[in-house]
Structure 1
Amino acid sequence: MDWLLDPFQVSFVRQALWAGILVSLICAVAGTWVVLRGMAFLGDAMSHGMLLGVALASLAGVNVLIGGLLSAGGMALGVNVLSRSRRLSQDTGIGLLFAGMLSLGVIVVSHSESFAVDLTAFLFGDVLAVRPEDLAGLAAALAVTVLAGAAGHRLFVALAFDPRKAHTLGLRPRPAQALLVGLVTLAIVASFHVVGTLLVFGLLIAPAAAAALWARSIPRIMLGAALLGTGSTVIGLVVSWHAATAAGATIVAVAVAAFFLSALADVLRRRIPSEVSR
């Protein structure tokens, strides 16, 4: 068992473990609704569209979290406005904002000779460099996520399964959609500096999607996603320590692998009874 416990004898790996657990819990709540609502493309677009705000904040000497939050918030607002158009589908609006903000971010980065290291951290994160104040920020983000998820639970359920019925029941689906986009924004902004924007999308989607194949209720999907995300964090850090691989990428790779294993097990579960019945 020493090989399993040895990595966590080091303080920065323990902090990475706590950071990964907090991110997993945040993503479990938000990711469940992303999967159920079919908002994967929006989550991907928002995680990449933050490059513009992060680049401008870095060049201005401002906290990159503020830049990322403003950029993601701007994209969320833009999506909300464009989704009201009857001539454009929501995917079209998301795609346009995604391409526009990402291209502007690349332009800003290309004019800076000293941004390469920061860009690498933005894309891939550095979970092993997490500081105590980062853990405090993640804990605060988790508290807000849980409160927002609990407050909007009934609205989110109606929105995910029958938006038209939600409207007839007076549940106001548009504000519910805006709140849900805000929840996803918070999860992405709070998590990107830990695992990076290219990887936060995997941690947001994979555990919830894997749990959704087996769980029969929304709370169970969230619980399953939280357990899978936490397990992926532990296994990813152990593998990263012994194999000398990038910690954040390894964590997400384990989470995605868990989804495919879950999907395979689900297929086998469905085939076996049919074969027995023959």
Structure 2
Amino acid sequence: MDWLFAPFGVSFVERALWGGLLVSGICALAGTWVVLRGMAFLGDAMSHGMLPGVAVASLLGGDLLAGALASAVAMAFGVTALSRSRRLSQDTAIGLLFAGMLALGVILVSRSDDFAVDLTAFLFGDVLAVRTRDLVLLAVALGIAAVLALVGHRAFLALAFDPRKAATLGLRPRLAHGLLLALLTLALTASFHVVGTLLVFGLLIAPPAAAVLWARSVPLVMAGAALAGSAATVIGLLVSWHLRTAAGATIAATAVGIFFLSASLSATVARLRGAEHAS
């Protein structure tokens, strides 16, 4: 056991562990609504749509986080504006902006001498390079995300299951949708520079999807998602250390693996219950 958990005695692995746990909490709060509302494509598009802002900030020597935030906000506004057209579906609007923003980002990054390195860092991050400053930033982001989730809970719930009823109840669906986009933007921008877009998207979707198969309420889905994301972080870091694999990608793969395990167990339990009722 000492050999197995020895990596957590190393300072940079310990910081990576705390970083992954904080990202898991943030993504559980935002990802639950992404899964319940079927917004996975939007989340993926926004995570990769941050690339132009990051590229511009890198070329100008500015703050990468500010560039990512500006790009994510532009993406959110663009999707909202195009979705208002009756002739375009929301998926079409997201797809157009996704392709356009990603292409623009790659073009901008290609002007850098370290094109491959910059793009790899954006996609995969470096969770083992997490600093104390990053942990503080993630802790603040988690606090803000918790406040947004608490304030918008009733409106988000109505919006997820019956948008028309949300309007009749005076919950202002458009404002609620904007607040939800703000929560998603916060989760993506606060986490990407630490762990990359691959890990952020993996923890945004897989743990809530695993939890929703078992939980009967939104708070329980969030709690289950946080636990699943935390488990993926711990297991992924241990596997990556002992097998010498990429830490961020290993954590993301572990999160997806936990989802498939959860789905298999859920299907097995459903079959057993069906057999009991039949007998």
Task: Output the TM-score relative to the length of structure 1.
Answer: 0.98
Q: How far did residue 257 of structure 1 move?
A: 0.2
Alignment match, 2:29:
29
Cα distance in 1 for partners of 2:22, 2:185 equals 16
Cα distance in 2 for partners of 1:142, 1:198 equals 19
The answer as to whether partners of 1:48 and 1:198 remain within 8 angstroms in 2 is no
**Structure 2 matches for 1:136-155, cutoff 5 A?**
136-155=136-155
Cα distance in 2 for partners of 1:224, 1:97 equals 32
Q: How far did residue 120 of structure 1 move?
A: 1.2
Alignment match, 2:45:
45
Q: Deviations over 1:129-164 (max 9, x none)?
A: 001100011011101100011010111000001001
- Unmatched 5+ stretches in structure 2: none
Cα distance in 1 for partners of 2:11, 2:112 equals 34
Corresponding letter in the other structure for 2:235: I
**Structure 2 matches for 1:69-88, cutoff 5 A?**
69-88=69-88
Corresponding letter in the other structure for 1:241: W
- Unmatched 5+ stretches in structure 1: none
Cα distance in 1 for partners of 2:30, 2:169 equals 24
Q: How far did residue 254 of structure 1 move?
A: 0.8
The answer as to whether partners of 2:198 and 2:252 remain within 8 angstroms in 1 is no
Corresponding letter in the other structure for 2:118: D
Q: How far did residue 62 of structure 1 move?
A: 0.7
Alignment match, 1:210:
210
Cα distance in 2 for partners of 1:273, 1:98 equals 43
Q: How far did residue 112 of structure 1 move?
A: 2.0
Q: How far did residue 274 of structure 1 move?
A: 1.9
Corresponding letter in the other structure for 1:232: A
Question: Partner of 2:215: helix, strand, or coil?
Answer: coil
Cα distance in 2 for partners of 1:100, 1:211 equals 33
Q: How far did residue 3 of structure 1 move?
A: 2.4
Q: Deviations over 1:9-36 (max 9, x none)?
A: 1000000000000000000000000000
Q: How far did residue 115 of structure 1 move?
A: 3.2
Cα distance in 2 for partners of 1:103, 1:109 equals 10
Alignment match, 1:179:
179
Question: Partner of 1:62: helix, strand, or coil?
Answer: coil
Q: State percent identity of aligned pairs.
A: 69
Q: Deviations over 1:143-189 (max 9, x none)?
A: 11000110101110000010011111111101110110111111011
The answer as to whether partners of 2:109 and 2:118 remain within 8 angstroms in 1 is no
Q: How far did residue 101 of structure 1 move?
A: 0.7
Cα distance in 2 for partners of 1:239, 1:85 equals 47
Is it true that 1:230 corresponds to 2:230 in the alignment? yes
How many correspondences in the alignment?
278
Is it true that 1:135 corresponds to 2:135 in the alignment? yes
Cα distance in 2 for partners of 1:3, 1:175 equals 51
Cα distance in 2 for partners of 1:169, 1:57 equals 43
Question: Partner of 1:88: helix, strand, or coil?
Answer: coil
**Structure 2 matches for 1:4-23, cutoff 5 A?**
4-23=4-23
Q: Deviations over 1:25-78 (max 9, x none)?
A: 000000000000110000000011111111111001011111111000100011
Q: How far did residue 114 of structure 1 move?
A: 2.4
Is it true that 1:106 corresponds to 2:111 in the alignment? no
Alignment match, 1:260:
260
Q: Deviations over 1:213-235 (max 9, x none)?
A: 00000000000000111111111
Q: How far did residue 5 of structure 1 move?
A: 2.1
Alignment match, 2:249:
249
Q: How far did residue 204 of structure 1 move?
A: 0.3
Q: How far did residue 275 of structure 1 move?
A: 2.3
The answer as to whether partners of 1:210 and 1:259 remain within 8 angstroms in 2 is yes
Corresponding letter in the other structure for 2:79: V
Task: Output the TM-score relative to the length of structure 2.
Answer: 0.97
Question: Partner of 1:196: helix, strand, or coil?
Answer: helix
